[in-house]
Amino acid sequence: MTSSLSIRRLSRLAYGGIWSLPLPLWLAGFFLGPMILLIWLSFWDVKNFLLTPDFQLENWKKMLSAPYFWAAYLRTFIIAISAAALVSLIALPCSLAISFFLSVRARMVVLGLFVVPFFTSYLVRVYSWQIYLTENGIVMKLLAAIGIDSGSLLNTPLALMIGLVTLTLPLVIVIQSISMLSLDKTLIDAAYNLGCGPCRVLFATVLPAVRPGIVLGALFAFIFSFGDFVTATYLGGGKFTTMSILIADTVKSGQQWPRAAVVALMMIATLLITALASIAFAYRRT
């Protein structure tokens, strides 16, 4: 009897273990392994354009004391946090409408439409924006037709934001909507029954309840914007040196992979801290 029980327990453990195995394997193979390699690489040397294993702090000293590194870091952080805030603000009314005002069928169609942009390469979408925003582009012509001479919008902060919104908005809307759809609707009814107006229901009931969705949506927008290379290069014209551009520049000239590894590690550290802080805030008990 005892042995049959322990066999059953063991087989249950094995069953659970097999299903759990892919995650640690994936993390070890595609996160921890490369991360260790990246950290190790940041201490290597480059001699005659060739990576040479070493253990020296020169790359860290060089990059962390370079004013252009900190300028790029600050710029990237500001751009990413601005994009996250902007996208969250744009996504909020869309998600509210999808979750509370659309029929189930219409909701499925609209959410499906927000997934459609992912069918096309982001690079292609950014190139398309160039056609709209360039000197003789469609937007300029429309503005000129109503008497506004705005010049080209390409390589401006606005173009940069347009690109990042293109990249992140659909995802943020989907995350926010899922969060709102899982909201217990009786809370809203209760708020109305207690005499709250629509604004109070929104700010005192709905938004606090869906805070994790809003914060996680903003976090994803931040992560994507912080690491984006395409928008900064093709809509920003390489004029706003971000951390990703700095990585490319560092590798391009002198094959300085170890210094590029320092930049990449600083980016990873920033994203990890931001993610942990965001998650803590999202699930904080009030």
Q: What are the Cα distances from residue 211, in Å, to 86, 92, 131, 180? A: 16, 11, 37, 9
- Nearest distance, CB of residue 154 and other proteins, angstroms: 6
CA–CA separation, 139 and 177 (whole Å): 31
- In the complex with other proteins, which residue's Cβ is closer, 72 or 173? 72
- In the complex with other proteins, which residue's Cβ is closer, 177 or 270? 270
- In the complex with other proteins, which residue's Cβ is closer, 71 or 115? 71
- Nearest distance, CB of residue 43 and other proteins, angstroms: 18
CA dihedral in degrees (171, 173, 178, 179; nearest 10)? 110
- Nearest distance, CB of residue 279 and other proteins, angstroms: 32
- In the complex with other proteins, which residue's Cβ is closer, 24 or 238? 238
Structure tokens at 117: 């942009």
- In the complex with other proteins, which residue's Cβ is closer, 173 or 262? 262
What secondary structure letter does DSSP report for 50?
E
Q: What does R_g of the chain's alpha carbons equal in angstroms?
A: 24
Task: Name the amino acid, one letter, at 63.
Answer: M
- Nearest distance, CB of residue 92 and other proteins, angstroms: 33
- Nearest distance, CB of residue 53 and other proteins, angstroms: 13
Q: Which of 162, 25, 160, 173 is nearest to 99 (CA)?
A: 173
- In the complex with other proteins, which residue's Cβ is closer, 75 or 211? 75
Max CA distance (Å), the chain: 89
- Nearest distance, CB of residue 122 and other proteins, angstroms: 16
- For residue 179, which phi and psi values (nearest 5 degrees)? -65, -45
Residue ranges binding other proteins (CB under 8 A): 48-51, 66-68, 71-72, 75, 130, 134-137, 151-152, 154-155, 233-234, 236-239, 241, 245-246, 249-250, 252-256
User: CB under 8 Å to 30, separation ≥6 — which residues?
Assistant: none
